[in-house]
Structure 1
Amino acid sequence: MERYDRLYALYDEFDTQTLRAQQDFVNLFPPVDSRVALEHWETASDNLTELKDDIRAAFPEGDAYADVAAHATREQAFGALDLYADYGRAVNVLVLDVDETLRSAGGTDNEIPRETLHLLTEFHDAGVPIVICTGQTLENVKGFLIQGLGNELVYSGGLSIVYEAGTGVFTPGHGPDTKRLLYEELDEDVRSVFDGVRSKVLPDAPEDVRSGCHLQGNEFNVTLKPNYETGSERAVELIDAGLRYLLALLADCLDADADAVRAYYADADPEIAGVLEDAGERPGSVDVPDELVDVLDRVDVAYYEGDAAEIASRELNKVVGVQSAFDVLGVEDPFALVMGDSKSDLRVMEWVASADAGISAAPEHASGRVLEHVRGTDDLVFDRGAAGDVLRTVWALNRLTELDN
């Protein structure tokens, strides 16, 4: 209870709101060539030091409490202390999705906020490795990370990029392990499935899907995205049609019964089942042959309402990529913060939960199953574009954990 009592005193007796505002101003002040602006920054820096000194003088471990107050709101600090009571350890690696997690088309103009970028820099400087885990291509991710975090951090040896949803892992500064191409381990049977799907996906598509969707992914991830605003009524119609088409296409490429393929994925995913049922295409009781199950167990079909329908390799996924990144980074006993919004991120969340190897967070607009998992664990749900709120909570967790070590 002593930690809780000290936090109550910290937030009741000190002007922590002003402290955080001064800290953010000092951290995020843009470089400008102006004597007046520089004097304003110096004044804020002096005020920040005075506010922190008052806290340092009031607590036996004042440096830590001043740092907590400078980063976290009252709610975030008490949330951090609750996490410490539950797990008793600090987060030692960050696993972060990008699109609709660190940045949001509807919340941050599709840019990672400066606040979030600065917090990532602070974690890096504190020795916490960062794994960026995304469906994007490596070149795209490298570009905006270098722009936002700088060459020095990206190439420091403490950052890894799991790209194209697990097709490869890029960890600069690690010699022969810098780039791992995980797809090289796939056998010919799985490769042939994706060769067939990719060659036919647009030429054989129904007219509305072909004209209303575009293709994303790679050799082992075929994703249909709508040419309309994500989540709009038209986008939902197109992605529902795209999902039904992909299931039929997969059956064709496998020379399998289409109802057997539909039944397999409907039984595995209630959202897929709902799409098929709404269109009158959900099969009744179907006996899926064992030999077909053996293949489908290796091929993932995913549905994101009004956003995407995809076919991907289960053997090339974010979990496999993250595990490989941990290996290269030397994270032997992970306790990770996993942040994401999609079902591919959910697999990483479920993996760390089953291994008692971390905690998970998601934006409030995440996939329903992701939110169900996050709310059922530590309830770290944040507003659209506000990933920094969870990073601040975890920063406070790590500082409070240090007090007992």
Structure 2
Amino acid sequence: MERYDLVYRLYDEYDTKALREYQEFVDIFPAVDSRVALEHWQQAHEELEDRKDEIRSDFAAGETFAEIAARATRDQAFTALDLDAKYERAVNVLVLDVDETLRSAGGTDNEIPRETLHVLTEFHDAGVPIVICTGQTLENVKGFAIQGLGSEIVHSGNLSIVYEAGTGVFTPGHGAETKQLLYEDLDEEIRDVFDDVRARVLPEAPENLRRGCHLQGNEFNVTMKPNYETGATRAREIIDEALVYLIDLLADAIGTALGFDAERNVAEPDADEAGDRGEDAGADESDLVAIEGEPIRDWTRAFYAAQDSEIRAVLEGEGEYPDLDADAVPDPLADVLERIDVAYYEADAAEIGSLELNKVVGVERALEVLGIAEPFALVMGDSKSDLRVMEWVDETDAGIAAAPEHASRDTLEHVLDTDELVFDRGKSVDVLRTIYALNRLARLD
């Protein structure tokens, strides 16, 4: 019988809804010191096994179908079938963003739900490595990972943390490779820019930003966070202001690194380049026509507005959008800007990071340490930084992507254009259960 027919029969002939309810109760029943409660759990466990035994005895691959029915809905099971038919591969690594993916403000009380954590432990028990890939600091991630998944899993050697959106990788249990500071590989010019911004960002900020924002405790990236609840109106307002301020501060730091004229905000011609044109290095303003009269800050704003429609919208809303052609940004400035990322997370954060240290770079290094030579990953995330990883696995035939319904527009479009694995706010467990079913089905091939 065709596998699709078997799944139709499974969900038509058996009370799979009740089966899933028993499974969820057994899986996440809290540890309590109560004889009555434990007896109730034991009764539920026995009923669960009896219902699974019916399926086990009625299907040739009864164990597989019993486990799928106990965890996946009909729709999830058929989606898993479609994925199995398309890729003919099991997922062998999970690459998971945290904020607004595994947990969601307003959807999960900003905590990873217990059912999600339990499914992750089941993947771990099945030998599937977990890569937590986040913009958060390492200490934050280690804290909730140990609290949610347990120290044994975190230190199993089968879990890696890509933190600060790819500036570092932490993979406990791998000796000298356990912690890798990828930002140390950047050249001195870029490190100097970040050091300059970090040293000035709060001391030189306007009073309302100093009171309304704080710096996330990053090792390398510079991230301004609101002193208000994420998503709140005041958080949105302060982060919009912080974005403009951070872009301007970045421009100043780059100008200092490149030796831009502080008074005119233009670059003096490079001596070698001037010599090649038969000109004097101390040329007058006529030799600076490409950038004459245009402040570095305006060029920098124009550059990032052209890169990201959300950043442009914020600049326009703040009345700070410059009327400049981003394609005309002076080459010395553009060469540096093209290496630095400015990220905007509405009502949550404004951040600068290195484009040479993105989540893709971090994930590649994590997979290398974990020894996964031929990855087929589930990538789950909601932002532009997650989208880069999704596009990378798509281009290299190395995985599939999933995103919450409130993900950034480009991220959501990518997911809809590939496998349509979109889940409701706070319900990342739905996709994880689909992939659980996929992996069970893949074992039958």
TM over 0.5: yes
Instruction: Give the Cα separation in 1 of the matches to 2:178 and 2:227.
Output: 36
Instruction: Name which of structure 1's ranges 290-299 and 13-22 shifts more when overlaid on structure 2.
Output: 290-299
Task: Give the match for residue 305 of structure 1.
Answer: 346
How far, CA to CA, are the matches of 1:252 and 1:95 in structure 2? 36
**1:12 and 2:12 are equivalent in the alignment:** yes
Residue in structure 1 matched with residue 118 of structure 2 by the alignment: 118
In the other structure, the counterpart of 1:385 is 426
Cα distance in 1 between the residues matched to 2:171 and 2:346: 33
Query: Equivalences for 1:4-403 in 2 at 5 Å?
Result: 4-255=4-255, 257-278=296-317, 279-286=319-326, 287-403=328-444
Offset, 1:152: 1.4
Match of 2:402, SS?
A: strand
For residue 219 of structure 1, report the CA deviation from its aligned partner: 4.6
1:343, 1:217 → 2: CA distance? 21
- Segment drifting more, 358-367 vs 191-200: 358-367
SS of corresponding position for 2:136: coil
- Maintained 8 Å contact 1:194/1:219: no
- The letter for the 1-side match of 2:335 is D
Identity %: 70
Q: What SS does the corresponding residue of 1:384 show, helix, strand or coil? A: coil
Listed one character per residue, the Cα deviations across residues 157-187 of structure 1 (whole Å, up to 9, x for unaligned) are 1111112222211111112111111111111
* 1:104-140 residue CA offsets vs partner (Å, 9 max, x unmatched): 2312222211111111111011010000112222222
Matched-pair contact (CA < 8 Å) for 2:312–2:321? no
Query: TM-score, normalization: structure 1?
Result: 0.95
Distance 1:254 1:377, change over 3 A: same
CA deviations on 1:191-245 (whole Å, 9 max, x unpaired) are 1100111112122223332322222252531112222232333322222222111
- Say what the alpha-carbon RMSD is for the aligned residues: 1.6
Contact 2:299 2:324 in 1 (8 A): no
Q: Residue 165 of structure 1: SS of its match in structure 2?
A: coil
State the distance in 1 between where 2:207 and 2:360 align: 35
Distance in 2 (alpha carbons) for counterparts of 1:28 and 1:224: 37
Aligned mates of 1:165, 1:231 — CA distance in 2? 21
1:393: how far off? 0.4
Letter in 2 for 1:139: E
Distance 2:434 2:233 in 1: 36
SS of the aligned residue for 2:214 comes to strand
Q: CA deviation at 1:288?
A: 1.3
CA contact (8 A) 1:262 1:283 kept: no
Q: How many positions carry a matched residue from both structures?
A: 404
For the residues of structure 2 that align with 1:307 and 1:86, how far apart are their CA atoms? 37
**Deviation of 1:259 (Å):** 2.1
Aligned partner letter, 1:316: L
Larger radius of gyration: 2
Query: Which residue identity lines up with residue 184 of structure 2 in the other structure?
Result: E
SS in structure 2 at match of 1:301: strand
**CA distance, structure 2, for counterparts of residue 275 and residue 171 of structure 1:** 37
Partner SS, residue 321 of structure 2: coil
Which AA in structure 2 matches 1:273?
R
Q: What SS does the corresponding residue of 1:302 show, helix, strand or coil?
A: strand
User: 165-174 vs 135-144, which deviates more?
Assistant: 135-144
Aligned partners of 2:49, 2:219: CA distance in 1, in Å?
A: 54
Residue by residue over 1:28-74, the C-alpha shift from the partner in whole angstroms, topping out at 9 and shown as x without a partner, is 12222222222222221111111111111221111111111011011
> Which amino acid in the other structure matches residue 315 of structure 2?
L
Contact 2:96–2:102 (8 Å) recurs in 1:
yes
SS of match in other structure, 2:440: helix
Supply the AA of the counterpart residue of 1:126: A
Q: 1:170 to 1:301 in 2, by over 3 A?
A: same
Q: Which moved more, 1:176-185 or 1:125-134?
A: 176-185
TM-score (norm 2): 0.87
Q: Distance in 1 between matches of 2:212 and 2:239?
A: 9
Contact 1:266 1:282 in 2 (8 A): no
Contact 1:326 1:332 in 2 (8 A): yes
Structure 2 counterpart of 1:372, which letter?
E
Answer yes or no: is the 8 Å Cα contact 1:304–1:367 preserved in 2. Answer: no
Superposed CA offset, 1:74-108 (max 9, x none)? 11111111111222211110011112211223122
For residue 313 of structure 2, what is the amino acid of its counterpart? G
Q: CA deviation at 1:280?
A: 4.8
